[in-house]
Amino acid sequence: MWRRREWSGPASPKGRLARARRLIAAACVLVAALGGPALAEDDAVSLAKQKSLTDTPDGPKEQLRKFGIDVDVWITQFEQGITSGAINRTARYGGVMDTFLRVDGEKLGFWKGLKFNAQYEHYFGRNVNRQDLALLPVNVAQAFIERDGYHSALSMTLTQEFSEQFSVTIGKFNMLTLAAQTPLVGGGGIETFMNRSFALPSTGIGVNSPESVADRLIIAPPYLLGGVAALKTKFFDLKLMVADPRNALQPRVIQRPFERGIGAGLMLTVPVEIGGLNGFHTFRVAYSNARGFDLEDIGETARIAQLRGITKKGYRFVSYAIQQYLMQSATDPKVGWGVFTLATLSDGNPNPVKWSVVAGLAGNNLMTGREDDRWGVGYYHYRLSPLLLSGLAARRINRRSEGGVEAFYNFAVTRWLRLSGDVQIIDPWNPLRARASYLGLRLQTIF
């Protein structure tokens, strides 16, 4: 009979070390297999270059694409440990399975411009989130579907492209997947940075609630129900998103959409070329008329029993981001590395984060033969609202703003097999805890 404990793996340090060794050994075995004599040289080259393990020439996936159906399965495994600074030094093994379905309606016999996308995620194992007393999850890919919460999530969107310049998309959006499309820095926690500050920056328009006052307060729902209108021109890209500001992972959002208000965001991206190198400047504003917990009332201990009824209407948020290539491939302008930065500012009430800044270097390794490798190093700081900090202090809960650094290297064994090493150092928002450090391994296989 299946039991949860079977997924969690051995609890002893030797058991956790053995899992890490097995993860690395699996990658080494596949490397050896690709270079060994068992495969003909041409077959080995073809296997190494194909997009996924099962995407063989004239195979089932290629045949399905002729009918407008594209399917991918990603399995990402994590072995991540807290080496210092937390209550207990611990390591956890777990992972996420992502299944993607993309349908081209025109090829399938419907009308031109119709697109359908679905993503199913399933969690397995465990993770170190919430074991460290940090504000931001250090493994965002496992932060929202997890052992003690939702085990899976399904996102679906329907797009109508009216022209090459204008399209409309409606449905349930996976914001981690959207963040993964960001130039240089990427997102989603699967291929680039693992910390939420880089992989899913705050949108500032989600609904906060009193029961989360002393927990993780970053407002950026990982799943949103709504619609996006996109306009692409030679000089700029413009997107307008209207969504329910609550986390669409909750069934009530699907059953009763927009019952607590509506959120809207406008994003303008302008391409800028400097010295022949591509760059992107993105300005975003967002507003929601939803009600959130009024941070001015945190310190009024006499009204603790009535906290659920104390609300403040309206979330306001602005951000500015830059991605600028410093080096680019001569054959593919999307391959290169450069600098990225993101600065955000909010009203500070009911938004619990007054401002934040993220900056670093990231991109591809441009050494010959290693162009598919990705790397990055970044710094973040989240400045919490003074109202939040003073209110918590009045209730004898001492907290502070949080900052940290992260670096990773993603080694492409093949295009469909990637092994990453990751290190993070964080000054947690709990001032009673020392600076924490984390080491992680990540193995991604695309089928």
Q: What is the pLDDT of residues 392-402, one digit of tens each?
A: 888 888 889 99
Structure confidence at residue 211 (pLDDT)? 45
Per-residue pLDDT at 44: 58
Average pLDDT of the residues of the chain: 85
What pLDDT is stored for residue 309 in this prediction? 53
**Which region among 24-28, 39-43, 300-304 has the lowest average model confidence (pLDDT)?**
24-28
Res 41: pLDDT: 54
Residue bearing the bigger pLDDT, 377 or 200: 377
Give residue 430's pLDDT. 85
Tokens of 365: 């390794």
H-type helices in 50-152, by residue range? 60-66
Q: Which residue has the higher pLDDT, 10 or 331?
A: 331
pTM of structure: 0.85
Q: Helix 13-35 crosses helix 41-49 at what angle (to 10 degrees)? A: 130
Task: Note the pLDDT tens digit of each residue in 70-120.
Answer: 999 999 999 999 998 766 678 999 999 999 999 999 999 999 999 999 999
Confidence (pLDDT) at 87: 64
Give the model's confidence band at 122: pLDDT under 50 very low, under 70 low, under 90 confident, else very high: very high
Q: Is the pLDDT of residue 12 over 80?
A: no
Task: Give the start-to-end residue ranges of the domains of the chain.
Answer: 5-446
Alpha-carbon span 91 to 390, nearest angstrom? 34
Say whether pLDDT at 132 is over 80.
no
The reported pLDDT for the residue numbered 215 is 38
Q: For the residues 377-386, what does the mean pLDDT come to?
A: 95
Tokens of 304: 């603790």
- Given a cut of 80, is residue 212 above it in pLDDT? no
Residues making up the chain, counted from first to last: 447
**pLDDT number for residue 109:** 92
- Give the integer Cα–Cα distance in Å for 199 and 381: 14
- Each residue's pLDDT tens digit, 176-192: 999 999 999 998 899 99
Taking residues 378-401, report their average pLDDT: 90
**C-alpha to C-alpha distance for 68 and 102, rounded to whole angstroms:** 8
Q: What would the mean pLDDT of 196-208 be, rounded to a whole number?
A: 82
Could you give the percent of the chain with pLDDT greater than 70? Answer: 84
Stretch among 38-42, 60-64, 207-211, 438-442 having the lowest mean pLDDT:
38-42
Tens digits of residue pLDDT in 227-281: 999 999 999 999 999 999 989 988 999 999 999 899 999 999 999 999 999 999 9
* Cβ(440)–Cβ(194) below 8 Å: yes
Fold of 5-446: Porin (2.40.160)
pLDDT at residue number 39: 45
Report whether pLDDT(5) > 50: no
Higher pLDDT, 235 or 44: 235
Measured between alpha carbons, how far is 384 from 398 in angstroms, rounded to an integer? 12
Q: What average pLDDT does the segment 349-355 reach?
A: 90
Rounding to the nearest 10 degrees, give the CA dihedral for residues 171, 172, 173, 174.
-150
Q: Is the pLDDT of residue 307 over 90?
A: no
